[in-house]
Structure 1
Amino acid sequence: MAQSKLWTKAPTWVVYSLGFLPAAYLVYGVVTNSLGPDPIAVLENNLGEHALQFLLLGLAITPLMRFAKINLVKYRRAIGLIAFFYVVLHLLVYTLLDRQLDLNAIIGDIWKRPYITIGMSAFLLLVPLAITSNNFSIRKLGAATWNKLHKIVYAAVILGALHYMLLTKTWQLEPIIYFTLAVLLVASRKFYPKRKKQTRQNPQTSKTQTA
């Protein structure tokens, strides 16, 4: 238990600060022209990968608490918002820098390229989760409804991992690992006991919970 408590002492702003460091490093790479011959591709791919990593970390919080006694629940919302931040940046780089706001090209990509269709679907699923990741939404929706809504993250993570795997166009190990982790983390919610009823029914304990 002492080890578990150590993980809850850091304030949430520390998580945000650490979470934004990869983005700051990429910005530094752009400014110093150190991202290689195709900086837009490097920027776009890295932002997308960081988004997926944080989404997976958010899903891993419950298994970590159950099996490793590492309690990161108070940081779940921050991790989810950081993940959405990287998703938005990834999308902005694609639309603004890669496609230069060419709507015909963007719509054509969504229509003709399955991995982009899947990626856009994942983004749309994450939008309502990001909008409602606040105490006001929990009070308005009620803890039970809010938790049901945030179960959408399961589908979003699976789609995000699939988007990354199809993006590579070859069977590379890293995307396969991400996709496998996504499937296992989502499956773990089905095959292991859920939280106690009293926790689900208490809005105060649900404020830092996602599905």
Structure 2
Amino acid sequence: MIRALNDGLRRVPVPLIWALGAIPFALLVFDMVTNNLGVDPVQQIEHRLGRTALYLLVAGLAVTPLLRLTGLSLMRFRRAIGVLCFGYALAHVLTWVVMDMGLLWGQMGRDIVKRPYLLFGMLSFMAIFALGVTSNNLSIRRMGAGAWRRLHRLVYPAAVLAGMHWLWAVKVNEIAPLVWASLIVALLALRIAIPRPLGRGTRKTEGIIIK
């Protein structure tokens, strides 16, 4: 059954992942145009972009444990998932910088220092940014496969920091950020607990963004 599923997945075009990944952004734009973002539209834009980035980050993290546990391979979609994550994270940060803070750089710096959730979020974004801009074959050739793989291990602290960012940002007892933070921890634990199978081409599957 897994073999049949993998055969079917190989026939799924990667551009379909890009199209599916664009749906949350399209829905957000629609709600903006129709004035359906509630009393604080900037906050809604920030939160929806940030949550989508986190969901995609978790989806990318889940690819390897899913393969090791079940044999189901989504590896060929992982680069698209990772770059989509980077795009939503970038839009999330730009919304905060431009629409929320109004390009007040001094105030932003003070807020990042004073508020741990902003510090966690910015550190996570810096790691995701490094992953996003090197998510291409040219970067692999220039850096070398070993250095590239070491750089892309930043996905693990990026995911933890993103989960902490959401947990510390909530003002009330919300269950969603706790669930997603727990899922991140579980996925990272699975990567450690389940040994990587030995064999030709195994190392090529490592990393969150490269396929």
Name the TM tier (shorter chain): over 0.9
What residue number does 2:161 align with?
159
Bigger CA drift: 47-56 or 30-39? 30-39
Give the superposition deviation at 1:195: 4.2
Aligned partners of 1:50 and 1:83 also within 8 Å? yes
CA-to-aligned-CA distance 1:90-128 (integer Å, 9 cap, x gap): 001101111111112211210111000110000111121
Identity of aligned residues (%): 37
Aligned partners of 1:5 and 1:71 also within 8 Å? no
Aligned partners of 1:26 and 1:43 also within 8 Å? yes
For structure 1, list consecutive stretches of 5 or more residues without a partner in the other structure: none
TM-score between the two structures when normalised by the length of structure 2: 0.92
Provide the rounded CA distance (Å) in 1 between the counterparts of 2:25 and 2:97: 18
Please tell me the residue identity of whatever aligns with 1:74: R
Q: CA RMSD in A?
A: 1.5
What residue number does 1:86 align with?
88
Any residues of structure 2 matched to 1:68-79 within 5 Å, and which?
68-79=70-81
What residue number does 1:42 align with?
44
**1:55 has 2:52 as partner:** no
Aligned partners of 2:124 and 2:157 also within 8 Å? yes
Any residues of structure 2 matched to 1:117-128 within 5 Å, and which?
117-128=119-130
Q: Which has the higher contact order (CA 8 A, sep 6+)?
A: 2
TM-score between the two structures when normalised by the length of structure 1: 0.92
Please tell me the residue identity of whatever aligns with 1:196: L
Give the superposition deviation at 1:199: 1.8
For structure 2, list consecutive stretches of 5 or more residues without a partner in the other structure: none
2:139 to 134, 137, 140: 137
Provide the rounded CA distance (Å) in 2 between the counterparts of 1:87 and 1:44: 10
CA-to-aligned-CA distance 1:65-111 (integer Å, 9 cap, x gap): 22233211001011000001000010011011111111122112101
Give the superposition deviation at 1:133: 0.5
Provide the rounded CA distance (Å) in 2 between the counterparts of 1:42 and 1:20: 17
What residue number does 2:201 align with?
199
Give the superposition deviation at 1:161: 0.8
What residue number does 1:210 align with?
207
Aligned partners of 2:68 and 2:194 also within 8 Å? no
The list of structure 1 runs, each at least 4 consecutive aligned residues, that deviate by more than 4 angstroms after superposition, is none
Bigger CA drift: 151-160 or 141-150? 141-150
Aligned partners of 1:115 and 1:163 also within 8 Å? yes
Provide the rounded CA distance (Å) in 1 between the counterparts of 2:167 and 2:35: 28
- Residues matched between the structures, number: 206
What residue number does 2:9 align with?
7
Bigger CA drift: 44-53 or 28-37? 28-37
CA-to-aligned-CA distance 1:129-183 (integer Å, 9 cap, x gap): 1111111111222222222211110000010011011110333211000000111
Give the superposition deviation at 1:11: 1.4
Give the superposition deviation at 1:210: 1.4
What residue number does 1:113 align with?
115
